[in-house]
Amino acid sequence: MTVTTTEYGYLERDYLVPDYLIPQARGAMGMQSLFQRVQALPMQVLFTVYNTTNLRILCDFQSRGNSARRGEPTNNAWGFPIGTGQNIRANSTEPGDFSSLNMNTDVVEQVWRSRDGVRTGLRIDIDTEREQGVFMDTFSLQNTNLTRSAIVRLIGSNVSDFSVVEKDITMVVVDDPNIYWVAPDLPATGQRYWRLFIDDLTNPDGYVSIGALVFGVSIIMQGECFVDQIGFEEKDFADTVETEGFTNVANSRALKKNLNLEFRSLAETELENFQKLKSIFRTARTTLKCLWIPTPNAIQDVPNIVDMAKFAVFSKLVKIPSETHNSKGAGANYVSFNVELDESR
């Protein structure tokens, strides 16, 4: 800013005008003003260090709708009350006990089935009932009859007619009744509506069936993990009838996995892995199923997908683990325990 000062002598200005004997200063002044408005801004923040190599556990199945909004006098996009688990529909369903809502239960033997002869053009729509959407990093189909030649796509959108596609994922199907997918990077956006496209023209059953559909945000271990010796077993459940020939006739019904993971010297507080597992023990306990993927290997090629499915289980805890604490003083406590999982429970 430049200021010019002019000093007048006696009687050099008009007589008796204001300040006629006082020196005058004239100049131009520039200024900036910043006006701020303070108001409450609701927001949701997720802090995470993401990886695709360590154990991940999915217990909060956001695919099943928003139970926190149960009782609201509003319906979801499919016309059913919000928070009641009626948020999934299919464009083809076999009459009988094959409802699309069967995919929202933990009993994987209770399946949804397309109509006989319908193996292509299948659509399964999910309304997560969350305006902010779901930042999905883990997805699974359990107890399917899909073949290796099946084409399975999952698309995400924030409009219920899927006219705008914001995410498009192609699944890899291997020789396993379960399908898994994990996000290679932490999702930056959420989608409320998800649609599954299925074509399986060569399916010898003549229809498509799915026992459970789950997705959401997983709890992921960082820095620490289970030891490299994994206890694994497959149990054959069969109906058996004794015969007169000192033998029996058996009909195999299902193969169920048992998994044993050993954790050694997890820092109780430093990395929060123990606290994450402890929260699962206290909430899921031995009554609720979680999806455990010990070896996710998110690179989407066939060998790694096989590895992902090898040890993954959709299972309850056999028991809440017994802990051994190695206490080295304040802030230095290390915990060891075994996690036993049994899909047949």
Q: Domain residues for 134?
A: 56-218
Q: Please give the angle made by the CA atoms of 233, 238 and 240, to the nearest 5 degrees.
A: 140
Return the DSSP state at 5. E
Strands, E assignment, 200-331: 209-210, 212-216, 219-220, 231-242, 248-267, 290-293, 313-317, 324-327
Calculate the dihedral angle through the C-alpha atoms of 65, 68, 70, 76, rounding to the nearest 10 degrees: -40
Residues 199 and 248 grouped into a single domain:
no
Is residue 144 domain-shared with residue 281, that is, in the same domain?
Answer: no
Same domain flag for 186 and 257: no
* Domain termination site, one of 157, 187, 218: 218
Q: What is the predicted pLDDT for the residue at 317?
A: 98
Q: Taking the mean position of all CA atoms in its chain, how far away is CA 60?
A: 7
pLDDT tens, per residue, the chain with 345 residues:
555 555 555 566 665 555 555 555 555 556 666 656 666 666 656 566 899 999 999 999 999 999 988 888 899 999 999 999 999 999 999 999 999 999 999 999 999 999 999 999 999 999 999 999 999 999 999 999 999 999 999 999 999 999 999 999 999 998 899 999 999 999 999 999 999 999 999 999 999 999 999 999 999 999 999 999 999 999 988 878 888 878 888 887 788 999 999 999 999 988 899 999 999 999 999 999 999 999 997 555 555 677 888 899 999 999 999 999 999 888 899 999 999 999 998
- In 145-201 the beta strands, taken as DSSP E runs, fall at 151-157, 167-170, 179-182, 193-199
Q: Enter the DSSP assignment of 104.
A: G
Task: With respect to residue 336, please indicate whether it lies within any of the assigned structural domains.
Answer: yes
- Tell me: do 235 and 210 sit in the same domain: no
CATH number at residue 101: 2.60.120.260
My answer on whether 185 and 326 are in the same domain is: no
pLDDT of residue 339: 98
Residue 16 lies in a domain: no
Q: Specify whether 250 is located in the same domain as 202.
A: no
Tokens of 230: 């994994």
| Closest to 100 in 3D by CA, of 109, 88, 83 | 88
The reply to whether 184 and 246 lie within a common domain is no
| Co-location of 206 and 78 in the same domain | yes
Look at residues 164, 194, 218 and tell me which one is the last residue of a structural domain.
218
pLDDT given for residue 58 in this prediction:
98
Looking at the fold, whether 205 and 244 belong to one and the same domain comes out as: no
Considering the entire predicted model, what is its pTM?
0.83
d(CA 90, CA 209): 11
Residue type for position 67: S
Please state, in angstroms and rounded to a whole number, the distance separating the CA atoms of residues 175 and 191. Answer: 30
305 domain-assigned? yes
| Residue 48 falls inside a structural domain | no
The reply to whether 94 and 213 lie within a common domain is yes
The per-residue pLDDT for 16 is 59
At 75-106, the pLDDT tens digits run 999 999 999 999 999 999 999 999 999 999 99
In a domain, 137, yes or no: yes
Do 250 and 272 belong together in one domain?
yes
Residue where a domain terminates, one of 156, 185, 218: 218
Q: Is residue 279 part of a domain?
A: yes
Residue 70's pLDDT is what? 84
**What is the percentage of the chain residues whose pLDDT exceeds 90?**
69
3-state SS of the chain: helix, strand, coil percent to 5? 10, 35, 55
For residue 293, tell me if it sits in a domain.
yes
186 and 93 belong to one structural domain: yes
In a domain, 27, yes or no: no
Round to whole Å and give the CA distance between 28 and 318: 81
Q: How many domains are there within the chain?
A: 2
